[in-house]
Structure 1
Amino acid sequence: MKIGNSVLIRNIDNYCINDLNIPSIVLMENAALKVIKNIDFERFKSFTIVCGSGNNGGDGLAVARHIFSMNMKVDIFIVGNHSMSKDCKANYDILKNMGINIKHIIKSEDIINLREALSENSMTIDAIFGIGLSRKIEGIYDEVTKIINEKSTYTLSIDIPSGMKCDSFGILGNSIEADKTVSFEVYKKGFLDYESEKYTGSIIIEKIGVPDYVVNKFHNKEYMTEINYIKNIIKKRNKYSHKGDFGRVTIIAGSEKFTGAAYISTMAAVRTGSGLVTLCTKKSVVDILKTKLVEAMSMSYEDNTFEEVILNSDSIAMGPGMGNDEFTFKQVRNILSKEGCPVVLDADALNVLKDNLELLKNSNRKIVITPHMGEMSRLTGINIKELVENRIDIAVNFAKEYNVVVLLKGYNTIITDGREVYINSTGSSKMASGGMGDALTGIITSFIGQGYEVLKATILGAYIHGYCGDILSKDMFCVNASHIIEKLPYIIEDLINKHENQFKLQ
């Protein structure tokens, strides 16, 4: 599922119109037909369609024509007194030629008719502003937006809810609160905002006749992960394989206060399918963890074979429960300064890098960092508010500068190597509990050890981690890390054999 912004859509439209000679009104008609396709006419019998004067309004007028032709009740409104775009005017003229009454809302008194229509009709279609809106909604537009949100029984927005930002996060003063948004060609970047669902409702992405190669020509390699992509990168196991084929994974984790983090990250690697997993931890807690980790080896940093284990590893995880102290810093510096297998850095392995980021830049290893917002704020010095609002760009720039894969945790977790961006589509707030990040670290490290390319292993790990939570959340009030660990091998096998589309892209 491709993610895009208004610049991408303008480039696509211009290419289709100028290079392929597809008339813009054909694209508008295709968009209208896809909106019609997504209306349940058994449930909805009467419609209020509120349009602006641009191409989004033209989409709405084309939808109104089709609904009218189906002999259904439709009340049509145009907001403002701006001149119409060419295609909007063409659809307006067709409706007038058909004898359809179109009401104009220019001043506050004109809203009376809209209020009545909203109360009488079963669906409202929002076609006021499209993806190009850049100014704050004010005046009559603000009044119309408020009355729609107050009186509409069910609202469908065309392409993007009017008032919602397309290229970044947030709204422009006010926004339509839709129950469904039918958008076109790509998933809009604004939909990734933490509060977007309040405005978008359910999101459906429709193709409107643009060839895939045209979209790819202008697309910036930003994607929403979906189940078919995940299915395509999971490797089926050869029946002749043995444990040596599935990776030697080393987890460097734990301390006197935090044995749980070490246990969770280690068991997550085991249950994800690693051939051999070794936990390296403080000598004082080795015996405690040995009694729990019957399917993984446990050793202390002081063990004579510690350096040999590190040297022979196919992947290493560092950080869960280690403690933010000088000892942890020395261990991280030691591993990053040597050549070898990829390393996943989490928790305290990230905390000790504050003011020591040259260790990332100078390392010859492939590195994945998995910070939550607080850890990323400490690493970058950027306050959390700014980080949340610009998290994609900040993650991309950090990945580029330090040549690492960044997994920035949170709703719509971001995964990037600085060249491509993937937004994870799984997981929920029911997973918000201690140890979840430790489990994710173990899962990613396991996939790297099994031979997956580092970026793909990170994408795969994040998706499966969240997908486990989604499945479990159907029957559970809260989901803990131990539940995820137990479910992992079943979910991975299920994904290998699953045949379905998570997103409705048609």
Structure 2
Amino acid sequence: MPNKLYSSTQIRSLEQQAIAELAQGDFVLMQQAASALLGLLKQRWPSRRNLLVYAGNGNNGGDGYLLAAYAKAEGYRVAIKCLGDHRQLPQAALMAKQAAGQALIPMLALDDPFKADVLVDALFGIGLNRPVDGDYAKAIAQINQTTSPVLAVDVPSGLCADSGQVLGSAVQADVTLSFIGHKVGLFTADGPDHCGDLLLEPLAIPQHLLAAQAACATLVQGPELLNKLPRRRKNFHKGQAGHVVILGGDYGMAGAPLLSAEAALRSGAGLVSVLTRKEHLSALLARRPECMVHGVEAQQDLLPFLTKASVIVAGPGLGQRFWGQQLLQQVLAMDKAVLLDADALNLLAQQPQLRPKQLILTPHPGEAARLLQCSSQQIQQNRLQALQSLQQRFQATVLLKGNGSLIAGSSGLQLLNAGNPGMASAGMGDLLSGVIAALWAQGMNAEDATALGSWLHATAADRQAQSLGQRGLLALDLLTEVRQLIHQQMV
């Protein structure tokens, strides 16, 4: 899969530049799109020959009209349901509609019956920016109520191509054939739930135009990042693998820092210390004797341990009581590499002016909302914008968790195309913090450590889910897989 992701504005720009360079460029691109759609239909559903196309009044509808004409010529039984005002179609779409008319394809009203065994969604393209209503909402409901497979043209109708947000309602496609370049909204928020299998047809866009167009974001490339993990010489000792210090575990939450600590050890950190409530010492040492565990009650208790740290993780089970507040203030005052997660993010939201120079933030949408003083819904409506706002406000590397997790660092935006709903269980974030911290402590930069740690964590979860299923997936189930993935690179 190409690793570049584009905004709708960038795709429109590429399309217009290509049209300017190609004779009859817009119709040529439409012909190529229709041919690719027909080829996909024949390959994916070779025995299904009754095709119903839902066509909107733009170029996306034009793709649908031309596909219908091509399919009719191949012996398909085809009908088209037209939505919107088709009296002022764009020129290429008008030519496509004329081709469908010459093929004598029935043009049906929305409520007209037609027994189809494949439906094609060609209602909206990338330009939708308002909630779907009226007949379009009714058409989407019809499509989603069918038991036949659904092929979406470019973008499932009702889905924002930039944010992945459902605009009122959206088509649930079995397959989406995207054109020119992948749209970032198809990979985050609600996008993956609506696309089904996502495929790409680049059309005849000149390569020099694609090369000149900067990406909106790039997909995290885990195997490439593994090559950036420093290799170990035979004359190597644990001090060269970094010292991760984890602060957390208020009363009743001792498991959270333990998960981070075990993840850091399994991800290659040379030394791991846990600073927690003294009542938790024996339990943590019994579970993981390789950790150094210390009871701390006040700020002055932290200094001897924080000064030795390569990376400090603050937040797992930290709580928001006075104990956690005062300890976090000491961490934020240190000139150290610091990763903040969980309750440390909630406490940071209350005093955002305190932040170290080397900082990684790993919020989920709720924590991001508190940091930006807005609602979780506002975060999810435009995850890319929220990510950029967090990075600018805190001058940090930021991982915004969720479906299609996003990473902002010094080199731009990255999107994680891995993970599954089985990860919605307690302790997953604590485990991730430990993995990222260990990579950072071993010499990777903050952005690469965040991207690689996220990829290892999500890919490990996908492997576990593939073999044992998603339900019942626990955080510690991932560590064997994480370790195996790390060793794809020779130690």
TM-score, length-scaled by structure 2: 0.88
Report the CA distance shift for 1:154/1:242 in structure 2 as closer, same or farther (over 3 A). same
SS of structure 1 residue aligned to 2:35: helix
Aligned pair partner of 1:485 in 471, 476, 479: 479
Aligned pair partner of 1:270 in 265, 270, 280: 265
Aligned partners of 1:252, 1:309: CA distance in 2, in Å?
10
Segments of 5+ residues of structure 1 without an aligned counterpart are 498-506
Aligned partners of 2:135, 2:58: CA distance in 1, in Å?
16
Aligned partners of 1:152, 1:286: CA distance in 2, in Å?
57
Point out the more displaced range, 133-142 or 426-435.
133-142
Contact between 2:155 and 2:178, CA under 8 Å: does it hold in 1? yes
Contact between 1:221 and 1:419, CA under 8 Å: does it hold in 2? no
Contact between 1:415 and 1:422, CA under 8 Å: does it hold in 2? yes
1:369 aligns with 2:367: no
Contact between 2:229 and 2:443, CA under 8 Å: does it hold in 1? no
Aligned partners of 1:243, 1:184: CA distance in 2, in Å?
50
Matched ranges for 1:38-437 at <5 A: 38-39=40-41, 40-80=44-84, 81-96=86-101, 99-105=102-108, 110-111=109-110, 113=112, 115-116=113-114, 119=115, 121-151=116-146, 153-192=148-187, 194-211=189-206, 214-215=209-210, 217-227=212-222, 229-230=224-225, 233=228, 237-238=232-233, 241-301=236-296, 307=303, 309-340=305-336, 342-360=337-355, 363=356, 365-417=357-409, 420-437=412-429
- Alpha-carbon offset, residue 2 of structure 1: 2.8
Report the CA distance shift for 1:321/1:78 in structure 2 as closer, same or farther (over 3 A). closer
Aligned partners of 2:61, 2:217: CA distance in 1, in Å?
28
Aligned partners of 1:315, 1:101: CA distance in 2, in Å?
69
1:461 aligns with 2:457: no
Aligned partners of 2:318, 2:410: CA distance in 1, in Å?
28
- Alpha-carbon offset, residue 166 of structure 1: 2.2
- Alpha-carbon offset, residue 449 of structure 1: 0.6
- Alpha-carbon offset, residue 207 of structure 1: 2.0
Contact between 2:260 and 2:316, CA under 8 Å: does it hold in 1? yes
Aligned partners of 2:94, 2:32: CA distance in 1, in Å?
17
Q: Percent identity?
A: 28
SS of structure 1 residue aligned to 2:312: strand
2:30 — aligned with what?
28
Contact between 1:266 and 1:277, CA under 8 Å: does it hold in 2? yes
What letter corresponds to residue 201 of structure 1 in structure 2? G
Report the CA distance shift for 1:416/1:66 in structure 2 as closer, same or farther (over 3 A). same
- Alpha-carbon RMSD across the aligned residues, in angstroms, is 3.0
Aligned partners of 1:280, 1:21: CA distance in 2, in Å?
68
SS of structure 2 residue aligned to 1:102: coil
1:370-427 Cα offsets, whole Å, 9 max, x none, are: 1223322333221222222233312211211220112222222222237622222222
1:246-286 Cα offsets, whole Å, 9 max, x none, are: 22222223234322112111010000111222223334433
Aligned partners of 2:141, 2:319: CA distance in 1, in Å?
51
Aligned pair partner of 1:6 in 5, 8, 16: 8
- Alpha-carbon offset, residue 224 of structure 1: 3.4
SS of structure 2 residue aligned to 1:358: coil
1:139-191 Cα offsets, whole Å, 9 max, x none, are: 44444433333346121010012233223344444433322111123333433
Segments of 5+ residues of structure 2 without an aligned counterpart are none
- Alpha-carbon offset, residue 345 of structure 1: 0.9
Report the CA distance shift for 1:194/1:327 in structure 2 as closer, same or farther (over 3 A). same
Aligned partners of 2:132, 2:363: CA distance in 1, in Å?
36
Contact between 1:426 and 1:470, CA under 8 Å: does it hold in 2? yes
1:315-340 Cα offsets, whole Å, 9 max, x none, are: 22112123323333333222322323
Report the CA distance shift for 1:67/1:280 in structure 2 as closer, same or farther (over 3 A). same
- Alpha-carbon offset, residue 32 of structure 1: 2.4
SS of structure 2 residue aligned to 1:469: helix
Aligned partners of 1:141, 1:432: CA distance in 2, in Å?
34
Contact between 1:407 and 1:414, CA under 8 Å: does it hold in 2? yes
TM-score, length-scaled by structure 1: 0.85
Contact between 1:78 and 1:103, CA under 8 Å: does it hold in 2? no
Aligned partners of 1:291, 1:322: CA distance in 2, in Å?
21
Report the CA distance shift for 1:448/1:193 in structure 2 as closer, same or farther (over 3 A). closer
- Alpha-carbon offset, residue 208 of structure 1: 1.9
Aligned partners of 1:288, 1:145: CA distance in 2, in Å?
55
Contact between 1:405 and 1:455, CA under 8 Å: does it hold in 2? yes
- Alpha-carbon offset, residue 234 of structure 1: 5.0
Aligned partners of 1:34, 1:348: CA distance in 2, in Å?
50
What letter corresponds to residue 416 of structure 2 in structure 1? N
1:50-91 Cα offsets, whole Å, 9 max, x none, are: 323321122223323432343333334443433221112223
- Alpha-carbon offset, residue 309 of structure 1: 4.3
Report the CA distance shift for 1:326/1:186 in structure 2 as closer, same or farther (over 3 A). farther
1:470 — aligned with what?
462
- Alpha-carbon offset, residue 287 of structure 1: 3.7
Aligned length: 482
- Alpha-carbon offset, residue 457 of structure 1: 0.7
SS of structure 1 residue aligned to 2:200: strand
What letter corresponds to residue 335 of structure 2 in structure 1? E
